[in-house]
Each structure stands twice: as C-alpha cells, then as structure tokens.
Structure 1
Amino acid sequence: MIEIFIINSALIAGAVLIHYEVLFRLTRLIPKLTFLRSRLRILVGVFGALVAHVAEVWLFAFAYYFMLDSGRYGSLEGNFNGTLMDASYFSFTTYTSLGFGDIEPLGDIRFLVGLEALTGLVLITWTASFMFIEMQRFWIIQSDS
C-alpha cells in the first residue's frame, strides 16, 4: 500500500512539475517573441501547452507499462495487449477523462488511473487559465494599437 502511494505521488508530482516548468517558461518566452505577430505568439503558447500535456501523458504511460510488466500492481483488461502504445492510448483516454471503456483497470493500478484523470483535469484547467491570461495580453495589445 505504501509503495503504490509513493509511486503515485511521484508521478503526480512529476506531471505537475513538468506543467509548471513549461507554463513558467512560456510566460517568459511569449513576450520576448516580438518578431512574431501577437496571434502567432498565442499559437506558441498553445503548442507549448500541448507539448507539456503530451509529455505528462507519456509519463503516466511509461508508469503503466512498467507497473503492468512487473505484475505486482494489477492489470488492464479488454482491448489491451501490453505494448507501450496501448499503455499510451490508455493514458491519453484517462488523462483527458474520455475513458472509452475498452480497457478496464483491475487491482491497485486503479488508484493511479483515478489520480491520472484528476491530474489531467486540473492540468488542462490550468492550461485554460494560462491561455486566457495570454489572450488578455493579446487583447490589451490589440486595443492599444
């Protein structure tokens, strides 16, 4: 029980740190891109945030892959054959809360699945807030012109 708690905590912390670092660096980078039009700077923010989300999804995908490979944390049943690509598909559907339902977690890994969905919700919301702030800057620049 304590082992799964430590693993899950480390994964959540890793995802949050990745997100924080990417958004922090984008906050510093976007205003410096004066050679780009304001609209293109917003796109840099969007694509940067997407890269952060993909990195976070892959962090969880690798965790699923290695946890399932060990056989100690449960299994994923259904349309899952144990490949890293299947683990990444499951991670994408969990992180985004789509949960197609074609893969079902069994055992202790269910706790991580729930935490990934919650983490994805929080980080996606954080990105939406970040992009809203960046868009406000864009609107302020446009209204000053």
Structure 2
Amino acid sequence: MEALTQLFIALLAISISSGSHYVFLNRLKKWVGNTKIPSFVSLLMVFYGITLSQLVAALWFALGFEASIYLGLGSFGGDDPIAFIDVFYFSLINLTTLGMANIEPLRHLNLLVGLEAMTGFLLVSCSATLIFKTMKH
C-alpha cells in the first residue's frame, strides 16, 4: 500500500509540474511570436522563463517529497531533520538529472526520485525545443 501511495504522489507531482511547465512554455512561445524586441532579448527572456519554470517544477516535487516524508513513506539519510531548502535543493539537482546531491533518499522516496529525474529529462527536452525555435525566429 505504501508503494501505491508513493506512486500516487509521484504521478501527482509529474502532472502538476508538467502542466505548469506547459503553461510557461506556451505563454513564452506566444510572447516571443508577438513581440518586436531584439532577438537577443527575446532569447534571454525565454531562458529566464524556462529557468523559472524549472524552479517551479522542482518546487512541486519538493512538496511531493515533503508529503511522502510526512506520511512515513521514506526519509532522507542522516540523523538530523532536513530543512525544506535542502529538500528543494535535492529536488532541483535531481530534476536537472545532475544527481550530485549529498542527500540520500531512503525507502519509497527512491520511486519519486527516479520518476522526477525522468520528468526532468522530458521537461528539459521540451525547453530545448522552444530555445531552438526562438533562435531560428
């Protein structure tokens, strides 16, 4: 039952983060198509918008980790309680698939970790498409 609960939390985080990312990218795409500012400024604004969107996606997953910990589905290694900023940092590193965080997820959190990395890869791919289209514009 714990694994199913963790899977539900993961699917919820994937849905919300990919949905918010879609909204960000769609609005950026429309904005770039309708603006008359220099192309370099447009590209820079796309970079900023994508960065903000990735931060929001990491926040959704960090909240998923917090909910999982609260429900007793897992924890992060170590004896000390972990602060939310550390969970957010771990989520951001994991979402970008760097995997260099010094925090170790335990038990069912590993499912959320794997699905977050997969989602991050897909979000980065979608973001790259918008960057390439902006550069061609």
Cα distance in 2, alignment partners of residues 93 and 120 from structure 1: 10
Match of 1:46 in 2: 47
> Offset of 1:69 from its aligned partner?
2.9
Spell out, residue by residue over 1:10-47, the C-alpha distance to the aligned partner (whole angstroms, 9 max, x if none): 1101111011111111111112221x212101111111
Instruction: Say whether the 8 Å CA contact 2:97–2:120 is kept in structure 1.
Output: yes
Match of 1:22 in 2: 24
TM-score between both structures, scaled by the size of structure 2: 0.90
Instruction: Say whether the 8 Å CA contact 2:90–2:103 is kept in structure 1.
Output: yes
Instruction: Say whether the 8 Å CA contact 1:76–1:104 is kept in structure 2.
Output: yes
Measured at CA, do residues 80 and 13 of structure 1 come closer, stay the same or move farther in structure 2, by a change above 3 Å?
Answer: farther
Q: CA RMSD in A?
A: 1.6
Larger radius of gyration: 1
Q: Does 1:31 align with 2:33?
A: yes
Spell out, residue by residue over 1:97-120, the C-alpha distance to the aligned partner (whole angstroms, 9 max, x if none): 122252111111110000001111
Match of 2:93 in 1: 93
Which residues of structure 2 form unaligned runs of 5+?
none
> Offset of 1:59 from its aligned partner?
0.8
Match of 2:66 in 1: 65
Give the SS at the match of 1:103.
Answer: coil
The one-letter code sitting in structure 2 at the alignment partner of 1:65 is E
Determine which structure has greater relative contact order: mean sequence separation of CA pairs < 8 Å that are 6+ residues apart, divided by chain length: 2
Query: Following superposition of structure 1 onto structure 2, how do residues 73-92 of structure 1 map, counting pairs within 5 Å?
Result: 73-78=73-78, 81-92=81-92
Which residues of structure 1 form unaligned runs of 5+?
138-145
Match of 2:113 in 1: 113
Match of 1:104 in 2: 104
Size of the aligned set, in residue pairs, is 135
> Offset of 1:133 from its aligned partner?
1.1
Instruction: Say whether the 8 Å CA contact 2:25–2:50 is kept in structure 1.
Output: yes
Instruction: Say whether the 8 Å CA contact 2:74–2:109 is kept in structure 1.
Output: yes
The one-letter code sitting in structure 1 at the alignment partner of 2:33 is P
Instruction: Say whether the 8 Å CA contact 2:75–2:106 is kept in structure 1.
Output: yes
Instruction: Say whether the 8 Å CA contact 2:10–2:64 is kept in structure 1.
Output: no
